[in-house]
Amino acid sequence: MIATYTIRQIQTGWQFLDKSEYATFREGHGVIIKHPVFCWLIEGGGRKILVDTGMSDTAHSEKYHHDGLQEPGQAIHEQLARVGIDCAEIDTILFTHLHWDHCYNLEKFPQARLYVSEKEYRFAMDPNPMYWNSYESPRAGLNAPFRCRKFNLVNGEEEIVEGIRMVPTPGHSPGHMAVSVSTAAGLYFLIGDLCLLRENLSPDKKRGWPITLPARFLNCVELWDSIIDVQHRADHILMTHDPAQIGHVSAQLGEDMYP
């Protein structure tokens, strides 16, 4: 019998981003959106699994990346401790990709098994100069949390444990992946930065397109195809930066659970 899982949504901070530069392709210039930065705790079958580990503290975000805010107690390890979960209980961490706001505080989980796309890992270790900051390359004077860790490298779609799969969704980054999770309410896809807003899943009426393309991508054709694929496969979709997800559930870990 396949285990069914519950998913807790954990908000690790905020990013303040121009809509046309990140969320919607060439639309919304000058509109600043307060985007949450989510990661997720999956529980079931005796396991505790994280998908991503969230963003850095405020000072680091503002110095090296862009305007952001991590409120006191929002870091992933602090939120887990608040509900009585020790970092050592996290046995596995699945990464949608390795941009800085998805892998911070990784040192708090020294015993966890780590999974990421091999294509993503290879690029992250030696990124194109345009992406030095995104992956916190030493060439930018930074030292990304993932650089001293060993990863299980995933090629193609793979079931990591029964009922939880990593699914290639390239476009936002070279080896971006979604995580599909079987729950009692159906199949959830945790899609990282494949989309930033719920609006991306709706038609672009101005252009006559079936989706509203996000503005932040490495390859727009791959991004487009990945979004369409996820729409066809998922019963429910969760995004890392979608403010609408705050409106559906509380921002506090423990109440932010999708059954």
Please count the structural domains in the chain.
1
Identify the pLDDT of residue 96: 99
Listed in sequence order, the residues at least 6 apart from 35 whose beta carbon sits closer than 8 Å to its beta carbon are 14, 15, 16, 17, 22, 23, 196, 241, 242, 243
Q: Give yes or no for a contact between 123 and 134, defined as CB atoms under 8 angstroms apart.
A: no
Phi and psi of 124, rounded to 5°? -65, -35
Identify the pLDDT of residue 66: 94
Q: Could you tell me if residue 1 is inside a domain?
A: no
Identify the pLDDT of residue 247: 60
> What amino acid is encoded at 28 in this protein?
G
Q: What angle do CA 199, 204, 208 make, to 5 degrees?
A: 160
Identify the pLDDT of residue 248: 63
Q: Could you tell me if residue 125 is inside a domain?
A: yes
Range of the domain at 216: 6-258
Give the whole-angstrom CA distance, residue 94 versus residue 96. 7
Identify the pLDDT of residue 2: 64
Q: What CATH code is carried by the domain that includes residue 201?
A: 3.60.15.10
The residue whose two tokens read 């046995």 is 91
Residue 118, classed as helix, strand or coil, is helix
Q: Could you tell me if residue 192 is inside a domain?
A: yes
Identify the pLDDT of residue 4: 81
Give the whole-angstrom CA distance, residue 115 versus residue 59. 28
Q: Give yes or no for a contact between 76 and 27, defined as CB atoms under 8 angstroms apart.
A: no
Q: Could you tell me if residue 183 is inside a domain?
A: yes
Each residue's pLDDT, cut to its tens digit, for the chain (259 residues) gives: 567 899 999 999 999 999 999 999 999 999 999 999 999 999 999 999 999 999 999 999 999 999 999 999 999 999 999 889 999 999 999 999 999 999 999 999 999 999 999 999 999 999 999 999 999 999 999 999 999 999 999 999 999 999 999 999 999 999 999 999 999 999 999 999 999 999 999 999 999 999 999 999 999 999 999 999 999 999 999 999 999 999 664 333 444 444 4
